[in-house]
Amino acid sequence: MKTRLILSLMLAVVWAAACGQPGQRGKQAAGNDVPVFLDDSKSIEERVEDVLARMTVEEKVAILHAQSKFSSAGVPRLGIPELWTSDGPHGIRPEVLWDKWSQAGWTSDSCTAFPALTALAASWDPELSKLYGQSIGQEARYRKKDVLLGPGVNICRTPLNGRSFEYMGEDPFLSSTMVVPYVQGVQSNGVAACVKHYALNNQETNRFVTNVKVDERTLYEIYLPAFKAAVQKGGAWAIMGSYNLYNDQWCCQNEYTLNGILKGEWGFDGVVISDWGGAHDTELCVKNGLDLEFGTVTNNPAAASNAYSNYYLADPFLEGVKSGEFDMKALDDKARRVLRLFFRTVMDRNRPYGSFVSPEHIAAARKIGAESIVLLKNDGGVLPLKDEGKILVVGENAVKMMTVGGGSSSLKVKKEYSPLEGIKERFTNAEIVYERGYVGDTDGKFDGVSTGQDLLDNRSSAQLIADAVTAAKDVDCVIFIGGLNKSLFQDAEGEDRKSYDLPYGQDDVIEALCAVAKKMVVVIISGNAVAMPWVDKVPAIVQDWYLGSEAGHSLADVLSGDVNPSGKLPFTIGKQLSDYPASTEAQYPGIPRPEPSKMGVQDVTILDEEYSEGIYVGYRWFDHASIAPEFAFGHGLSYTTFEIGDPKVSGSIEKGLTFSIPVKNTGEVAGSEVVQLYVSAGDSAVERAPKELKGFSKVYLEPGKTATVKITIDKDAISYFDAGKHVWVAEKGDYSALIGTASDVLPKTVEFKY
Ligand code: BGC
């Protein structure tokens, strides 16, 4: 009773404010009715129009820019709450101070860290993507966040990219398929997914000043599809403009990508949010499609006193509207979009309350992690390991917490299980010993969050290797766990890797161990491909990822065979860096311009970068240039074996051509296989990649069982983008569907015509 009374009073106050404010233009609610914008039974569009009509110009501008590091203002007079954003994309970032990156010091913000998005992509399982999105959305909601800054879907163009681990690999079809359920899952909580970084943000080095030049066909075929899928199929409510430039305009204020493609061609009705500090000019932001500006600082010199009012979409915009420089239409369009976001999130009274670090979330993290681990090599059936004898674990990544670091995706976790902990917990009959092997990054701190681990070790490299080798002589199996580690230059925001090689002399450690170990397993934890010069000497190699809270459990699940590995590479692992397409300076990291340019009030040197390899990215390049990779895109072994039978085909390209593909588990243990379908075009008016992934399906099978997997393709699967006519073209002609279990294991070919 009492609560209802209070609610009615609150409503009355809001109502009075909504109707009675002097100096407003627009409508008044009739009689005693609830104002339209507070009426849940009305459509969002009606509510948006109603509230827009009640707002002053100042109020409209106030919702278009940040008021703190991660929040923007609501409309207090009308009872519209603030909007809170948070990184993203692997867990909910710990609270920072209102206007500083330093920690707010909360003790209630230690989250579940989910596996990095590369791992999610490596699961090749859209159902897991949905589980991921739902779970992280619940965590966001519980922490009262309205916009999750993720997922990231920039294409992995170079294995040096510092942020590959936050993205979904090198293939547009794989990333498009995986991003959609993530977005839907997050948004089912009344939390917006903010898909990032739109567009062409394929490197960290010089990320603020790289001007990408890419031909139109490549843009549409390779770099945009995942964003388009997130918007059109996933229904994303927000998108984040990237820091870099495209065709001489920064991507947060880029007429072509924002107004032309995103809002024009794709009909995006959501909010374009700037990357933090990605806006540089009021007029261009206003005219070219930015809706909501966030920043790290502001570039405006007047910012010293009142930073947020001096954002490009704050006072400078307000003054421009008042002076007539900018018209109300532009302001209303942005306000309308932001209000729509309010009604979809913070004003949705029916959204669930969310949950935080629940057993379900931990279980989801563990499952996604285990399903994503890729068994690259397993000669002689070294894996799975038996729980017996003596096992030596070597390597810093076996003990180092990986959830802290990497940049804005850094987290503070409730508990992170390291690989060594996971192995010790699982292999209770075996004797487990540990040696460090090498010392990499002992810092363990990011933005004031510390792992609290003391990883200092003063032994020389030679001594560390000698100690590991001595220990290795006395054991039945050696598991080396290394890779990269999310410290600067080793898979982190802000800087790319400087080398394709493993850092900290790890190759020497592996080589030395190989010489003495009876059985050797190498586990690489990374978000990128690394060189493996020892590949022929190591019988078992596992590609692991930054797996978050349950990292150790997921890895132990796979090493022990409790979970049969079924992950597949979301990118190609080349033998050496020069095998990758972007190999000239003009292609990467770009050529500096002789004259400085203005970025806001700063003088900066822009670098021009030509994506002259065109559509030949990832396996498309390796195929085209006939370069044998170390491990191909889509590769991943299992502890069982599968046989792909002869596909049956029904339907037509116009209505949907369905391939029914029998898959049999021919081995001894249950497991999952990912059936992959690539399309290869015959004669074409344009150059085509030798093959392109256009369908896949993951299937779980008990030993001896067969299932029929169905993959349907349509005109999209055979189309190329005709840049001259600016349309997708499905050419009449001959095509082949290449079907198998990896991009280099495609035993079945089905010819078809269109
Ligand atoms: C990153 C974004 C992130 C934002 C807020 C930027 O530096 O590029 O991905 O969401 O900071 O932390």
C-alpha 267 – ligand 1 centre gap (Å): 25
Q: Which two tokens stand for residue 606?
A: 């822009």
C-beta of 70 in contact with ligand 1 (< 6 A)? no
Atom of ligand 1 at shortest range from CA of 197? 9
Q: Are 330 and 311 in contact (CB under 8 A)?
A: no
Tokens coding 98: 């209102």
Q: Determine whether the shortest distance from the Cβ of 446 to ligand 1 is under 6 A.
A: no
Mutation test residue for ligand 1: of 85, 149, 195, the one with most atoms within 8 Å of CB: 149
pTM above 0.85, yes or no: yes
Confidence of residue 671 (pLDDT cuts 50, 70, 90): very high
204 lines ligand 1 (CB under 6 A): no
Residue 101 has pLDDT above 90, yes or no: no
Is the pLDDT at 368 greater than 90, yes or no?
Answer: yes
Most confident of 100-109, 288-297, 305-314, 320-329: 320-329
Of 694, 689, 696, 692, nearest in space to 713 by CA: 694
493 Cα nearest atom in ligand 1? 8
Angstrom CA distances, 400 to 392, 436, 443, 445, 546, stand at 17, 11, 10, 12, 11
Contact 87, 149 (CB under 8 A): yes
pLDDT confidence band for 302 (50 / 70 / 90):
low
Q: What pLDDT score does 299 carry?
A: 53
Question: 240 CA to middle of ligand 1, Å?
Answer: 9
Half-sphere exposure of 226 (CA within 13 A, CB side): 32
> What ranges in 307-394 are assigned the alpha helix state H?
315-323, 328-344, 359-372
Residue nearest (by alpha carbon) to ligand 1 atom 2 = 275
Using H for helix, E for strand and C for coil, what is the string for 239-269? Answer: EEECCCEECCEEHHHCHHHHHHHHHHHCCCC
Mean pLDDT of the 730-746 span: 98
Task: Evaluate whether 77 touches 50 at the Cβ level (below 8 Å).
Answer: no
Give just the sign of the alpha carbon dihedral 57, 60, 66, 67: positive
Q: Which of 87, 97, 147, 194 to mutate to test the pocket of ligand 1 (most atoms within 8 A of CB)?
A: 87
Ligand 1, atom 7: nearest CA belongs to which residue? 276
Q: What letter does residue 223 receive in the DSSP assignment?
A: I
Closest CA to 416 of 563, 555, 569, 561: 555
pLDDT above 50 (res 27): no
Q: Which residues are catalytic?
A: 275
87 lines ligand 1 (CB under 6 A): yes
Question: Is the shortest distance between the CB of 149 and ligand 1 below 6 Å?
Answer: yes
Distance between Cα 424 and ligand 1 center (Å): 36
If you take atom 12 of ligand 1, which residue's CA is the nearest one? 408
**CB neighbour burial string for 582-610, b if at least 16 within 10 angstroms, e if fewer:** beeebbbbbeeeeeeeebeeeeeebbebb
Give the distance (Å) from ligand 1 centre to CA of residue 408: 5
**Which pLDDT does position 23 carry in this prediction?**
35
- Which atom of ligand 1 is closest in space to residue 196's alpha carbon? 9
pLDDT class of 26 with cuts at 50, 70, 90:
very low
Q: Looking at 32-46, 150-164, 340-354, 579-593, which range is the least confident one?
A: 32-46
* Burial of 253 from C-beta contacts in 10 A (0-12 / 13-18 / 19+): buried
Instruction: Note the pLDDT of residue 417.
Output: 98
% of the chain residues with pLDDT over 70: 95
Q: What is the pLDDT of residue 21?
A: 43
Name the residue among 282, 285, 277 with its Cα closest to residue 66. Answer: 277
pLDDT at 542: 99
Task: Give me the pLDDT at residue 298, please.
Answer: 57
Distance CA 160, CA 155 (A): 12
State the Cα–Cα distance between residues 113 and 120, nearest whole angstrom. Answer: 13
Averaged confidence pLDDT in the chain: 95
Q: Is the pLDDT of residue 618 over 60?
A: yes
Q: Is 291 helix (H, G, I), strand (E, B) or coil?
A: coil
Least confident window among 22-36, 99-113, 244-258, 469-483: 22-36
Determine the distance separating the centroid of ligand 1 and the alpha carbon of 675, expressed in angstroms.
Answer: 35
